[in-house]
Chain A
Amino acid sequence: MVVGASVAGLTTAVTLRTLGYDGRLTLIGDEPHTPYNRPPLSKQILAGTWEPDRIKLRTDEELSDLDARLLFGRSATGLDTATRRVTLDGGDSVGYDTLVIATGVTPNSLPGAHHLAGVHLLRTLDDALALRADLRHRPDVRVAVVGAGFLGSEAAAAARRMKLDVTMIDPRPVPMRRQFGDRIAALVGRLHKKNGVSMRCGTGVRRFFESGGRVTGLELTDGTLLGADVVVVAIGSVPAIGWLAGSGLELGNGVECDPTCRAAPGVYAAGDVASWHNDHFGCRMRLEHRLNATEQAQAVARNVLGENRPFAPVPYFWTDQYDAHIQAYGIFPADAELAVLHGELEGGHFVVAYGHAGRVVGVLGWNSPCELRRLRQLVVDRAPWASVAPTPPAVWTGRHLSASIR
C-alpha cells in the first residue's frame, strides 16, 4: 500500500509494476485530482501559459493499466504498525503487508492571515488556480510575496511577468539564502530588483489589514505600511506526518528512515516526507526536490522487492526565475567554500563549486546546463577541494564573495 498519490507515491506504484510485482496494490491520496507535476504550478500554470491538463503525471488510461486500487480524495488519518492497518478519513481501515509513506509536505501558514480573501498558499493545483485567478482579477493588482525562498521567488517572477506591482518580504537579508548561501542569494536579489520587484528583506510581517474579509495591506516589523490586494505566503513547509502520531514510527524532521529508506519492518518512506541517511555524503537529509521524489521512490520500490540497497544519490534541484535557469547538484552547507569553475558571476552564465571538509560537495549552474551536467561528476567523485579551487587568496568564502558582488 502507498499513501500519498503524487510523484513519489505514483512512482513507487509504477516501479513496483515495472519490476514485475503483480500482487495487490493500493494507492491512497487526499487530493481530488489524479496525480500531477508540481513544478509548473509556480511557473507555467501561474503565468497562464499552460492549462492543468498538461501537468498530469499519467493519463487516466495509464492509471487504470496500473491495476491498482486507487483511492483518490481520501486521506489517511492513522497507522497501526502492529496490526498493519491504515485508518482512513471515513473511519474505515485498510490492511497492508508493506506500506510506503509518500505524503510530502504541508506549507507553513502565517497566523491570523489565512481566513482573509486574497491570502494564498502555493502547494496544490487548486492553490495555483486560485492564486492565478486573483492575480488576474484586475490589471492593477498589488502583490506582496512573504518568503523569499525559491517558491516565493518564482511566484514573484510570475507576477512580474503579468506586469503587476510586486513586493517581496523576508526576515533574511537576501532571497534563497538558506538554499545556496549569501553569494548566490545576492545575485537572486539583484535579479528581482532588475525585474522591478520591490525588495523588503531583513523584515517580517507584523499584521494584516482587511476590508470586508479581504486583505488590503500589511504592516512590516520595521513599521512600513504596504498596500496589497494579493498576498502569497511562501515561508517553507513541514513534513505531512500528523497522521502518523502514535504509530510508533520515529518522527523528527519527517519520517526517519535507515539508509535503505526503511522506517520500520514493512514500512518505507519516499519523497519530501522522508528523512534518511545518505551514505554518499555521510549525513541525514530530507529533500524537497522533484527529482529526488522519483529517484527515492524507485529505490524504495526495489528495496520493497528485496534489493535492500542504500539510497545514496547526488541530489538535483532547479528553479526558474525570469531569464535565470538555476540548477544544482549536491549539498550546500552554510559554511562551504566557493570556487567559480566556468563563466563569471557577473556574466549571467556560470558554474560554481561548493567545497566542504576538503571535498567538492556541490555544484551550482546559472544558465549553464551543459557545463553543469559535465561538472556534476566532481560531486559524484567527491573530488578533493584542492583539485578545483584556485590557490589562495582567490579561494573565496561565502562572506567575501557576497561583499564583492554587491
Chain B
Amino acid sequence: MQVTVHQDKCVASGQCVLAAQDVFDQRDEDGVAVLLDERPPTELHDDVRQAAAVCPALAITPAGS
C-alpha cells in the first residue's frame, strides 16, 4: 500500500492520527497532516483505510493493497 496525503485539502481535523497514529501525525504549527510512513506494514492497512474513509476533507489516498 502506498499512502498519499493531499495537504492542500487537509482541514487539520486529526481524525487520521486518531485512526492510525503510526502512519499519520499533524504539524505543530497548523495541524496539517504529515505522513510518518508512506508504505505502512500490512497490519496497519485497515487503520489507514479507516483514516481515509473518515477524513472529512478526502485528503488521504491509500493506493494498492
Contacts and interface: CB of A to CB of B under 8 A. Distances in A.
A318 interface: yes
B13 A291 contact: yes
Contacts of A376: 18
A373 B53 contact: no
10 contacts: A39-B57, A57-B58, A290-B56, A318-B11, A325-B30, A327-B12, A369-B13, A369-B26, A373-B14, A373-B17
Interface residues of A, number: 23
B30 A298 contact: no
Contact of B58 (A37, A295, A318, A372): A37
Contacts of B17: 373
Interface in A290-346: 290-291, 294-295, 298, 316, 318, 320, 325, 327
Contacts of A216: none
Interface in B1-50: 9, 11-15, 17-18, 26, 28, 30-31, 49
A372 B31 CA distance: 10
B26 A370 contact: yes
B30 A291 contact: no
Sort A-B residue pairs by CB-CB distance and give the 8 closest, nearest first. Answer: A369-B31, A373-B14, A369-B12, A290-B56, A291-B56, A370-B26, A294-B54, A370-B31
Contacts of B30: 325, 369
Interface in A239-277: none
Contacts of A39: 11, 56-57
Given A316-B13, A327-B13, A370 B28 contact: yes
B14 A372 contact: yes
Interface string A11-38: 1001100100000000000000000010
A373 B33 CA distance: 12
Given A294-B56, A325-B31, 9 more contacts: A37-B57, A39-B11, A54-B9, A294-B54, A327-B12, A369-B26, A373-B14, A373-B18, A373-B31
Contacts of A325: 11-12, 30-31
Interface residues of B, number: 18
Contacts of B11: 39, 318, 320, 325
A369 B56 contact: no
A32 to B, nearest CB: 21
A40 to B, nearest CB: 8
Contact of A373 (B9, B26, B58): B26
Contacts of B12: 318, 325, 327, 369
A373 B30 CA distance: 12
Nearest to B11: A318
Give the one of B9, B54, B57, B58 with max A CB within 10 A: B58
Nearest to B30: A369
A369 B54 contact: no
Contacts of A316: 13, 15
B11 to A, nearest CB: 6
Interface string A158-183: 00000000000000000000000000
Nearest to A58: B58
Given A369-B12, A372-B14, A373-B17, A295 B54 contact: yes
Contacts of A54: 9
A225 to B, nearest CB: 39
A67 B58 CA distance: 21
Contacts of A373: 14, 17-18, 26, 31
